Amino acid sequence: MADLAQLRSVIAQLEATIRVLRGELEHERNRGESAVREAHAEHATEIAALKAMIDTMRGRLEQGEKAGDAAVQSVRAAGRSEAAELQATIVALRAELEAERERRSNEVSDREQAFERERVVLEDQVRALRAKLEAVT
């Protein structure tokens, strides 16, 4: 029986140790869960802040992209307008050049005709003077 009493005493001590260890284990588990919750809350705040920053940056980027697209469209429109203006200027200058060529061509033709008439007159005068000279000699 002494063995039985001793065995019961050891069992009681073991049960007490188990209860203490369970209590410590529960306490550590609660501390661990609390630490996990704190870390999660801390990281959740950081994640939320990062998401907010990303959303803000995305918004700025989209605004910049829209502004860039608008600027590109504006530059393209200005370029098309300038190209059309230059094309119209080229057409006008070509027409002016062609008119000037035509005027000069007509002027040259008129001068050639005047020179031809003057040449004919001078040749007639030379013939007449030769005839007079021959008649005198």
Cα–chain-centroid distance for residue 61? 13
Per-residue pLDDT tens digits for 76-92: 999 999 999 999 999 99
What is the structure's pLDDT at 129?
93
The two tokens of residue 108 are 């040259």
The model's confidence at residue 3, banded by pLDDT at 50, 70 and 90, is: confident
pLDDT at 39: 83
Supply the pTM of this predicted model: 0.46
11-67 tens-digit pLDDT? 899 899 999 999 999 999 999 899 888 888 888 888 888 999 999 999 999 999 999
Buried b (16+ CB within 10 A) or exposed e, 83-95: eeeeeeeeeeeee
Amino acid present at 16: A
